[in-house]
Chains A and B, each alone.
Chain A
Amino acid sequence: MMLEFMRNKLVDVARLNEDTLSIHGVLDDSIYNLELDFKVNINDLVCSAIEGRWLRWTTPQCPQALTFLKEADGFCLSEGIDNKIHKTVGRRACRHFANLFIECAYAARETVKLLHWQEAVENEPSLSFKDFLEKDSVGGIPAADVMEPVEPVKKPEPITSPVVSEKSSGGVSSVADASFIGNDGKSDSTGFVIDLHLHTSPASPCASSSVDAMIKEAKRIGLDGICLSDHNYVWSPDVVRDLRKKHDFLVLRANEIVTEQGDMLVYGFYEDVQGIIKLAELKKRVAAVGGFVVAAHPFRGFLTFGADDVGLTTEKAMAREMFKWVDGVETLNGKVTATENGLAQNVAKGLALTATGGSDAHDISTVGTYATTFEHEINSEEELLSALKEGKCRPVTFR
């Protein structure tokens, strides 16, 4: 057996003085070699004096990452900081520095627990480390809410609250609910174009534009409608009906649900599903209410970073377990490569599954990049479902 890749990460923590830790991290792998040094205040876990060094890197621009490491100065390295590190150090500087920084933050927290236990032992010599932590589960680290705040998780506002209530115990709402939401009769003789896949803030924590902004942009660029497909989120029919009236624009509901086989767009299914659901189970529940399951970006990330060298043919792709359980395939998705969309198109054609398109927009700049055009005007979620089931639609490049 031949070693193909190796990554070693080493983190050391020393105590500089009464109040300060000195952290040194090294990441050395087959591609990169980088180092981090910084200080951490023992009392509040706030870091400072971050310095990075590259020893090996890839692109000519990688050295620029060092400038942005300073943005993490002042971060409090309490539990839950990892996402903030990914979003700042990872996005602005380099994901590999972020990876090492997260290891260093873990090491800092563990060290502070150890130091606080050692202090406690001076007064209570028989106190074991485990007993100390059982008494004080955070090891003397102040709770996050009294420390410099970590970027808050965005929570949906009341106006967009999901339709769960009495149905959250497993019951499902009827597809007939879909008829609540309709259009005022706008028509387009060249085809009726709907962006079937987009996200809004705060319903999708990863999105950055509000639903009103997304609707305005969709209307401005000439789409006939949009379908709100926030992650594991069910829009209230009343809220969506109000949005339609407010903007005089077709707004429909979908849901992008995470399964063990990847993300699935579901139409005509309004159960609040949280966590990971098995695709087979999701299909069963959606079918029970007459809904429609579309495999969202089914090859996202398959054909990048050399994965296209591994020999994934259309035939092999068609044999994937996922395609036994879906009714359609998203063959134009705005967040994947042309090659990945191309493979999805081949699979949909090979398996005779309905093909759809959607922008997967998370902000207004990409609304409508791809969409789905329907043969006939769509006025409600019921009509959308019928058109999808009859295959009276096709994906289009719109913007």
Chain B
Amino acid sequence: MSNNILKFSMNRSTSVEKINATCLRSVCRLQDSFTDAEVAIEVKMPDLEIVAISGHLQHVYNDEVKNLDERLQKVIGIRVGSGMLKIIKGLMGEDKNLEQLVYMVEECCHGVILTLTKKVLLKAPDDEAGKFAFYSKMVKKNIRLYDRCAGFAKGTPLVAELEAEEGGEKA
């Protein structure tokens, strides 16, 4: 069996660039054994609202998405942030042949969030003690991070200060 010859390959790339002082453009491209697709959104600051969207999708076995552009345009005006996925799905629809496009819109939005995250993370000190203090402060400021991953799990070192303060307040 030619087990070193790939049966399936997938490459998904998302890039975010600043197109002017108040607008980011996020593009997600997918090429896999069956699919060639691209979605691009433009997001206006400061409230991270989607102001433009375009895309295409070619697939080997799924039927062509009818009114693809019309479906995409439905997300104009929504805000990149918490709760966006249910809104994107709700507006674009959950047809089987749309799943990939919905996912790519979401990936574009995540790209925008990670762009902003990167700017914050660049402020982290290099030394271990400084990093520890930086991330402890981050979880205190952004309570939604608490217990949402191994790094900020209940009872772990980075949340110890937060838990101590919460315990103190309750006492």
Interface pair B47/A59, CB less than 8 Å apart: no
Majority SS of interface residues in chain B?
mixed
A262 within 8 A of B: yes
Q: Do A9 and B60 touch (CB < 8 A)?
A: no
Q: Which residues of chain B come closer than 8 Å to A302, judged between CB atoms?
A: 47-48, 81
Interface centre among A6, A15, A129, A305 (most CB of B within 10 A): A305
CB distance from A364 to the nearest CB of B (A): 14
Q: CB distance B81 to A258 under 8 Å?
A: no
Contact with B along A78-117 (1 / 0, CB 8 A): 0000000000001111110001000100110011001100
Task: Say whether A14 contacts B83, CB under 8 Å.
Answer: no
A305 touches B116 (CB 8 A): yes
Q: Residue A159 at the B interface, CB < 8 A?
A: no
Q: Interface range on chain A: under 10, 10 to 19, 20 to 34, or 35 or more?
A: 35 or more
Contact B114 A61, beta carbon cutoff 8 Å: no
**Whole-angstrom distance from the CB of A187 to the nearest CB of chain B?**
28
Q: Is A146 an interface residue (CB 8 A)?
A: no
Q: Judging by beta carbons under 8 Å apart, are A307 and B116 in contact?
A: yes
Which of A95, A107, A304, A313 lies in contact with B32, CB distance below 8 A? A107
- B161 CB, nearest partner CB in chain A, Å: 13
Known: A5-B16, A62-B151, A316-B46. A30 touches B118 (CB 8 A): yes
Majority DSSP secondary structure for residues of A touching B: mixed
Q: Which residues of A sit under 8 angstroms from B118, Cβ to Cβ? A: 4-5, 30-31, 306
Known: A5-B15, A11-B10, A17-B3. 20 other contacts (CB 8 A): A1-B25, A3-B15, A15-B3, A22-B3, A29-B114, A31-B117, A58-B124, A59-B151, A60-B132, A60-B158, A61-B156, A61-B158, A64-B153, A92-B150, A92-B153, A261-B78, A307-B46, A311-B45, A311-B46, A336-B144
25 pairs of residues in contact across A and B, judged by CB atoms under 8 Å: A5-B114, A8-B12, A11-B8, A11-B32, A21-B7, A29-B114, A30-B118, A59-B152, A61-B151, A64-B151, A64-B156, A68-B150, A95-B148, A106-B10, A107-B10, A110-B34, A130-B60, A258-B90, A260-B91, A301-B82, A304-B142, A309-B116, A313-B46, A321-B77, A337-B142
Please give the residue numbers on chain A whose beta carbons come within 8 Å of chain B beta carbons, in ascending order: 1-18, 21-22, 29-31, 58-62, 64-65, 67-68, 90-95, 99, 103, 106-107, 110-111, 114-115, 129-130, 133, 258-263, 275-276, 300-302, 304-307, 309-313, 316-317, 320-321, 335-337, 339
